[in-house]
Every structure is written in C-alpha cells, then in structure tokens.
Amino acid sequence: MNLKKRIKKLKQIKSKLYKKDFLLTWEKSPEDLEMILEVADILKQLRDENISPKVFASGLAVSIFRDNSTRTRFSYASAANLLGLEVQDMDEKKSQVAHGETVRETANMISFLTDVIGIRDDMYLGEGHKYMLEVAEALDEGYKEGVLPNRPGIVNLQCDMDHPTQSMADLLHLKKEFGSLENLKGKKLVMSWAYSPSYGKPMSVPQGIIGLLSRYGMDIELAYPEGYELIPEIVEIAKKNAKASGGSFTISHSMKDAVKDADIVYPKSWAPYHIMQKRTELLKKGDTAGLDALEKSCLAENAKFKDWEYDEEKMKSTKKGKALYMHCLPADITDVSCKEGEVAATTFEQYRIKTYHEAGFKPYIIAAMMFTNQFKNPAKMLNKILKKGRKRKGM
C-alpha cells in the first residue's frame, strides 16, 4: 500500500500512547498495539524508500542496560538515531550510581535534555518492573516541578515480567507471515521450554509471548517440564486474554506432543519461577556459594530434559511439517553454539533467515514506541515527514 494511504488509515486508530510509558503489553489497549505495529511498519517503509523520519534536531535517548546485550542495544540505538536522538549510555560502572545515589535523583539528573529512556533490567525477579515504575515516578515529579522541560518516555527493553519490544516485533513478524492479525485466529502457537546447557535465562520472553499473542484468537499451548512454571499472574493474564479473544490457552508437559499440528513454534529455554525466586534471594545476599550450588542442581535438573530439543522429527509433526519456527536469538543450536541445545542445527537452518527477519522488526517497534510517546497525533507527524520527503541518504 502506498504511504499516503497507510498514514490516512492510521487516523482511525484510537490509541492512547501519548506521554504514556511502554512497560507491559497487557496494560495497553488493542488500539495501542495496532498503532505501534502500524507506525513501526510505516517507519520501515519510509526508510526503505529513503525518506528520513528524523523528527528531532537534538535530544538524548538514554539507555540503561543492567544486563549484557547486543541486539537490543543496537535496535535501541538504531531507533533513536533514525528519529534524530543521540544515545547516551547510563553505564553504572562509569557513573556514580553505585555510590549511593537514589533512583529519584539520578532519573532527573540524566533527563534535563532527554526525550526517551530505554531500560533493560531483567536479572532480579520482582525488581525490573518495579525499578521502571520508580524511574517513572521520579520523572513525573521532575516534570511536574518544572525540573524537566519534557517528561521523557520510558521504553521497557526487558524486565523481569515482560519483553514488549521483543514480543511486539514477534507479532509484527507474524502479521507479515500470515498476512494480517485477523489471519492469526485459530492458529496454533506453541511456546515451549527447550533444553539449554546454561541455566538462569529470563522468563520475560515466554511471558511476553503468552501475554501478548494470547490476544489474537490463537490456540496457545505453553509446554514445559513439570516444575518449570512462569510467574502465575502472567499465566492468568494469558488465560483471560485467550478466552476474551476467542482463542484458547493450555499448559502441557511434553514438547513432542505439544508441537503436533502447530502452526507456530517458539522453543526457548528459561529458568523456572521458583528457581528465579531463590536465585534473586541469593543474589541479594551475595551468597556466591549458594549460587554455585543452585546452578549445579539446576543444571542437573535441566539435564533430565535434553530431549526437549526442537528437531526434524518434531517439526515433521507440525502443520504440514512446516510450522513457523520463531526465536528471539541467539538460540542454543545443537552442534553449532553448544553440544546439545534448544534446536537441531538442520531445523534451525531452515528458519534461520526468518529469525533474522523477525529480529529486524525490533528497531522499528522501538522507534514506534518512541514516536507515539512523543507525538500526540502520529498520523499528522508522519504526513509532515512524507510531505517534506527529506532523503535519508544522499541529497
């Protein structure tokens, strides 16, 4: 569709994203989510057609990464740069945060000329989301008191509960693969635990997936070995979502059985809820010996489920033997990145390029979150961009 028409259609979507942080997808309305998907895709098309959507002459996009990251870091930087913002990393090793500064104060100190703050904080259960709310509250106060000329918007780049930039990129990928959100109705999606030689992978990806994709009328099956539960509250949300959207939500305990007739499979390792609780306690206490012991026992437990690998045989049992394979990357690929992992090399290889496409939506999803947070009328601003038609590259 041409850009003019697409932008015009945007006007019909009644979203309420302006000046609202994007923390959890389940706090957002269907219109909000649709708006993000559409704006993301329009921004992508603009760039593909060499039109620059640079709407900031200056401004900072602060990033706070409390965990290592390649792809989210680059996605965030790309999104900020596309819109004209400069990334400024709040590196806690370089900064004074470690020296007893309060979140409240720091949040203001880094925000005087800041438009967006992206935060990744997924290490401690019960902490990441809470931390974002604390930052949000501090920014609200700073703005109210005239300390900050604008209220910077917060983008959740992964917390202990949700990973909305990932799940929204995944949703846009599905929309593209199946033609529309409508077409997702009745499709079977299996979010399955998978074996990995590491332990302690965050739950935010599977939680993000079931929390979001349950809203589109799909039959969601969450499969994991007994004991590998996710946060119960989020599972409840998924159940409710599924029901409300005319889909279903079931939990089962065999990857092999679950993937039968699936249209979409998402095999991915995570550490179970009760382990994450224990781990968080030990981390807070700084109990190294306890952490080592926990890791050992977890790895031993994991090792019982090495057959939770998505392989050729399992793939054959999916719908027409070719369910769409998804992954947030990097996957633990058997014989490639590890000896025994989440997915067989030959199986992964068939969908490798598709997982790259999947990941490629993330910069635009983040840009759309920034854009809709900052502009009350996204359609109007996008129209201006189109009219101005400034080249992204060249003159």
Instruction: Please list every residue from 88 through 107 that binds a copy of itself, using CB under 8 A.
Output: 88, 90, 94-97, 99-102, 105-106
* Among the residue ranges 19-27, 176-184, 241-249, 328-336, the one whose residues contact a copy of itself (CB under 8 A): 328-336
Least distance from a copy of itself to the Cβ atom of residue 17, Å: 16
Sheet of 86-89: strand order equals 86-89, 60-65, 114-121, 153-159
Least distance from a copy of itself to the Cβ atom of residue 100, Å: 4
Least distance from a copy of itself to the Cβ atom of residue 116, Å: 11
Q: Rule CB under 8 A: is residue 305 a binding residue for a copy of itself?
A: no
Give the residue carrying structure tokens 């900052």. Answer: 374
Report the 10 Å Cβ neighbour count for 233: 10
Nearer to a copy of itself, 167 or 214 (CB): 167
Structure tokens of 272?
């179970």
Tell which phi-psi region holds residue 91, choosing left (phi > 0), alpha (psi between -120 and 50) or beta. beta
Structure tokens of 103?
């979140």
Least distance from a copy of itself to the Cβ atom of residue 86, Å: 5
β-pairing, 324-325 vs 153-159, is: unpaired
Q: Rule CB under 8 A: is residue 123 a binding residue for a copy of itself?
A: no
Q: Which residues contact 111 (CB under 8 A, 6 or more apart)?
A: 62, 117, 139, 142, 148, 152
Helical residues (DSSP H) of 222-325, grouped into ranges: 232-244, 255-258, 273-285, 288-302, 312-316
Q: Rule CB under 8 A: is residue 113 a binding residue for a copy of itself?
A: yes
Nearer to a copy of itself, 3 or 251 (CB): 3
Do 120 and 90 meet the contact criterion of CB atoms below 8 Å apart?
Answer: no
β-pairing, 60-65 vs 86-89, is: parallel
Which of 265, 131, 253, 276 lies closest to 202, judged by CA? 276
* Among the residue ranges 117-125, 129-137, 209-217, 332-340, the one whose residues contact a copy of itself (CB under 8 A): 332-340
Nearer to a copy of itself, 229 or 340 (CB): 340
The whole-angstrom separation of Cα 7 and Cα 387 is: 12
Q: Rule CB under 8 A: is residue 109 a binding residue for a copy of itself?
A: yes
Q: Rule CB under 8 A: is residue 337 a binding residue for a copy of itself?
A: yes
Q: Rule CB under 8 A: is residue 280 a binding residue for a copy of itself?
A: no
The whole-angstrom separation of Cα 360 and Cα 126 is: 30
* Among the residue ranges 14-22, 254-262, 306-314, 387-395, the one whose residues contact a copy of itself (CB under 8 A): 387-395
Residues 34-73 that bind a copy of itself (CB under 8 A): 47-48, 52, 54-60, 62, 65, 68-71, 73
Nearer to a copy of itself, 245 or 374 (CB): 374
Which of 271, 227, 216, 226 lies closest to 249, judged by CA? 216
Q: Phi first, then psi: what are they for 270, rounded to 5°?
A: -155, 165
Nearer to a copy of itself, 224 or 361 (CB): 361
Q: Rule CB under 8 A: is residue 391 a binding residue for a copy of itself?
A: yes
Angle between helices 30-48 and 378-388 (to 10 degrees): 10
Q: Rule CB under 8 A: is residue 390 a binding residue for a copy of itself?
A: yes
* Among the residue ranges 212-220, 247-255, 260-268, 351-359, the one whose residues contact a copy of itself (CB under 8 A): 351-359
Q: Rule CB under 8 A: is residue 295 a binding residue for a copy of itself?
A: no
Least distance from a copy of itself to the Cβ atom of residue 105, Å: 6
Do 162 and 193 meet the contact criterion of CB atoms below 8 Å apart?
Answer: no
Q: Rule CB under 8 A: is residue 82 a binding residue for a copy of itself?
A: yes
Least distance from a copy of itself to the Cβ atom of residue 383, Å: 10
Q: Rule CB under 8 A: is residue 267 a binding residue for a copy of itself?
A: no
Q: Rule CB under 8 A: is residue 359 a binding residue for a copy of itself?
A: yes
Residues 141-180 that bind a copy of itself (CB under 8 A): 141-142, 145-149
Sheet of 188-192: strand order equals 248-252, 219-223, 188-192, 264-267, 324-325
Assign 327 to helix, strand or coil. Answer: coil
Among 2, 312, 329, 335, binds a copy of itself (CB under 8 A): 329
